[in-house]
A and B are shown apart, each in its own frame.
Chain A
């Protein structure tokens, strides 16, 4: 069922460096040679050596879990998998055609993805330093994992600061935008950041016209394949930091929170507990703070900071994330304002205020006060208040019994009141 020519595939696969623990890894002689060269390289203390170490770590991990968080499955072939890392891909096949245990793994191929800061193909971690002119520049090549971070050691009082970008022209642009968010407006610490530098998790962006805020509105709840790939790579990096006891602070910006939230959710699925060694800060209004909060608590991020997101709310919060319940209302208000004929306005308003009332009861704040909603719809504030009073009282039950008001199908207990409002009151011009 695999796509490789038959000759290449399963001829002469033999176990590679068999060990007692975990699954057996099979590889054909060609791949055995390639794996051996990576093993050799990983003993070097050089850039190449670090990348080879990462490959080695990923291969060894296959003896444990075959559905790692950064693994993808090939369409139509449930046994063919691929581990995606910033610097390489490992394609492997589950299931042994020689009658051995079902869970043996055969390594099909390892492809290196050489990235340069001017040749970005995939999400990766980069060291960013300030040059003597005052601009931030990425290093030539990405780092294999957070241990390659120049800016901090990862110990408790020296956590590694990582920025996660969202919308930007290129890595250069992203590298310059993130520092002020990492500093959280504390400009006194700017000089220190300039001398140490920071780490950037750069996700390549789609160069389409939509700007931050608008694009993410359209995509609420959905994540693009590129962003999903980036989240998985990020999740793998967070897991690596966790296993190596590194302290990390993740700051997302301008849409990067989507990738960050998804990565946290993936970690939660794996039941990883960070024990407070990592923190997140969403300097970003484009996605759900609520979802991010659930995810970060599930994986035991450090939640001591009362301010963990940038306070300015944007359209996304208004629409549906924070607080719960207002999305319905906001959309309704929009519908009321722009898509309702004049004589239907009062009825719709009742509907809105009814919903608002429900969420008020749940303790969430609503977009504007009653007066605000009324003003937005061009309705008298007193009229709006009267409706609220009626909703709160029990008189809506009585109104519901009047025949002429209950002609149509009641979508909700408010329908009769809506009808009455439509018949009786006229909207302010």
Chain B
């Protein structure tokens, strides 16, 4: 789908990556990442997290919150988090003509599912999937933005979902552990997230979230940004960093893990997908945001609904990553719209 006018921005040089070492109450997480390249400010507010953290003390955790489109910061019940590491890298196109084309932000967190009942453990893949998807549902699928209608006298307050997902969800193996992976597709913004999760303890999850945003003066919606700025370099950087990850569970975590499942082959890996109803809605929303006329912009309009349907079909296709397990069972959680 790469047209001639697509910009292929360049990210940081991975050869400059250095090893980052984080100790989490006995479990050790190491990975390589290049130094920060903040496109917006020269203040050094990234990579400031300490390298030793106590993940078993509830004091280190802070409430997990998500910013809603009406400006409210919604705090989620039953889940809290510690930020282990954060960094940002700028992606640039041709100097002067293109300049800033986007950025990739990495946030590594330990999430604590406080509301987990005592007899459940995140080492059980079914439980992990359930909570991961629930979190995705609350943060992404229930994120509504204000829609519009072409009739100027229509004052209905439309609420449209801002994302569909989980996209390309799969299980894969890295550093001897099983990780659950998922992506999302924005329907209004230009920010995508790649998420990798693995359990560290009965209630604790290690989460790698790569959130990349592309930017161009001639593209203001998710469809046109696909045509204007290619995402290859963003995905490459994210996978390079993830492949460098090494996790050594502490003794207590290891014993917690083995006590949960005597027979690992019984630990089914469930994968969630988008529903046809979500797809239909997504088509309509993408169409609305792609066809509005933005003043002064000479964007090529992709208003053909067939092309939009085609784009979504491509997007939700399964693309196995490195060391990915074959999809055993696709699950549709009830209540999924």
Contact = CB atoms under 8 A, between A and B. Distances in A.
Q: Do A and B come from one complex?
A: yes
Interface of A: 47-48, 111-112, 114, 116, 118-122, 127, 129-135, 137, 139-141, 150, 169-170, 172-173, 176-177, 179-180, 183, 185, 187, 190, 197, 204-207, 209, 211, 226
Contacts of B295: 120-122, 204, 226
28 contacts: A112-B152, A116-B145, A116-B147, A118-B145, A118-B220, A118-B221, A119-B148, A119-B292, A119-B294, A120-B220, A121-B294, A127-B71, A129-B71, A130-B67, A132-B64, A132-B65, A134-B88, A150-B71, A170-B215, A170-B217, A170-B220, A172-B189, A179-B41, A187-B45, A197-B71, A206-B296, A207-B217, A207-B297
Interface string B202-213: 000000010101
B57 interface: no
B97 interface: yes
A359 B211 CA distance: 55
Contact of B105 (A134, A139, A141, A179): A134
A425 B47 CA distance: 62
A140 B45 contact: no
Contacts of B86: 134
B45 to A, nearest CB: 6
A143 B292 CA distance: 21
B277 to A, nearest CB: 23
Nearest to A127: B71
Nearest to A187: B43
Interface of B: 39-46, 64-67, 69-71, 73, 86, 88, 96-97, 99-100, 105, 107, 145-148, 152, 155, 157, 188-191, 209, 211, 213, 215-218, 220-221, 289, 292, 294-298
Contact of A133 (B43, B44, B105, B289): B105
B68 to A, nearest CB: 9
Please name the 8 residue pairs, one residue from A and one from B, whose CB atoms are nearest each other, closest first.
A180-B41, A207-B217, A187-B43, A131-B67, A140-B146, A140-B69, A139-B71, A169-B217
A116 B296 contact: no
Contacts of B73: 129
Contact of B215 (A134, A140, A173, A197): A173
Given A150-B71, A179-B40, 11 more contacts: A111-B152, A118-B145, A121-B295, A131-B66, A135-B191, A140-B70, A140-B145, A169-B100, A169-B217, A204-B294, A205-B296
A137 B279 CA distance: 26
B211 to A, nearest CB: 5
Q: Interface residues of A: mostly helix, strand, loop or mixed?
A: loop
Contacts of A111: 152
B215 A226 contact: no
Contacts of B157: 47-48
Nearest to B191: A135
Contacts of B218: 207
Contacts of A120: 220, 294-295
A139 B69 CA distance: 5
Contact of A207 (B39, B69, B298): B298
A120 B292 CA distance: 10
Of listed A47, A134, A183, A211, residue having the most chain B CB within 10 A: A134
A141 B66 CA distance: 18
B70 A133 contact: no
A118 B105 contact: no
Nearest to B42: A180
Contacts of A190: 43, 45
A129 B74 CA distance: 13
A135 B146 contact: no
Contact of B40 (A127, A141, A177, A197): A177
A204 to B, nearest CB: 6
A255 B289 CA distance: 28
B70 to A, nearest CB: 6
B209 A141 contact: no
B49 to A, nearest CB: 12
B66 A211 contact: no
A132 B207 CA distance: 14
A204 B220 CA distance: 12
A132 B67 contact: yes
Of listed B100, B213, B296, residue having the most chain A CB within 10 A: B296
Nearest to A175: B40
A150 B66 CA distance: 17
A173 B44 CA distance: 19
Contacts of A180: 40-43
